[in-house]
């Protein structure tokens, strides 16, 4: 899907995604240079770094393929709702959290759905390869520490941080470029 063909809501969301992507890249650079930000800035950074690539899933052919739209519409809202409930729990706004037994299957369901889509996709491009690498790194970094012991997920999270600028750069370029006239 291209910007010119996208529904109004995706056109509107595209601009905050660009700003958020810039924030994440800028913050990663600041962290690399040794700047230690406030905790709430780090939380915004991690939330954006993990959430913005989903914009690429929402705007890609992933949504237009009806076989994959159903699990996406099932797992994605569940994952987002659980994520925000956990965030409110961590900040002591609410007294209960959603355990990994709910959010974990939602994230794993999203990953497996995209993995099947990736395998069945006939034309693979740079963005689709970066999406599957990023998604694998995030899923591994999030699920492994919660369900197993003895695995170090930090290196996968760091890999996802390095993949992020390329993933978002190629994905946003693809979204905003003009359609090829036939």
pLDDT of residue 90: 72
Average pLDDT of every residue of the chain: 79
Token pair for residue 36? Answer: 């230690």
For the chain, percent of residues with pLDDT exceeding 70? 84
Q: Calculate the CA 88 to chain-centre distance.
A: 20
Q: How many CA atoms lie within 13 A of 63 on its CB side?
A: 14
CA-angle at 1, arms to 116 and 70, nearest 5°: 40
pLDDT at res. 153? 65
Q: What is the pLDDT of residues 93-142, one digit of tens each?
A: 777 666 666 777 888 888 898 888 888 888 888 888 888 898 888 888 77
Kindly report the three-state secondary structure assignment for every residue of the chain: CCHHHCCHHHHHHHHHHHHHHHHHHHHHHHHHCCCCCCHHHHHHHHHHHHHCHHHHHHHCHHHHCHHHHHHHHHHHHHHHHHHHHHHHHHCCCCCCCCCHHHHHHHHHHHHHHHHHHHHHCCCCCHHHHHHHHHHHHHHHHHHHHHHCCCCCCHHHHHHHHHHHHHHHHHHHHHHHCCCCCC
Render pLDDT for 25-70 as a digit per residue (tens, 0 to 9).
888 888 788 888 777 777 777 777 767 777 666 666 566 677 888 8
Q: What is the pLDDT of residue 60?
A: 66
């Amino acid at each position: 899907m291209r910007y010119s063909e996208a529904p109004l809501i995706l056109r509107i969301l595209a601009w905050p995604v660009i700003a958020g992507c810039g924030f994440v890249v800028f913050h990663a650079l600041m962290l690399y240079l040794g700047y230690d930000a406030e905790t709430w800035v780090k939380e915004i950074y991690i939330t954006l770094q993990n959430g913005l690539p989903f914009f690429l899933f929402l705007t890609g052919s992933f949504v237009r393929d009806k076989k994959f739209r159903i699990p996406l519409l099932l797992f994605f809202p569940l994952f987002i709702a659980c994520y925000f409930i956990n965030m409110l729990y961590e900040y002591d706004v609410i007294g209960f959290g959603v355990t990994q037994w709910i959010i974990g299957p939602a994230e794993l369901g999203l990953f497996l759905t995209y993995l099947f889509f990736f395998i069945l996709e006939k034309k693979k491009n740079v963005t689709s390869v970066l999406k599957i690498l990023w998604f694998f790194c995030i899923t591994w970094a999030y699920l492994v520490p919660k369900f197993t012991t003895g695995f170090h997920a930090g290196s996968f999270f760091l890999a996802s941080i390095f993949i992020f600028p390329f993933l978002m750069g190629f994905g946003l370029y693809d979204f905003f470029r003009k359609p090829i006239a036939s």
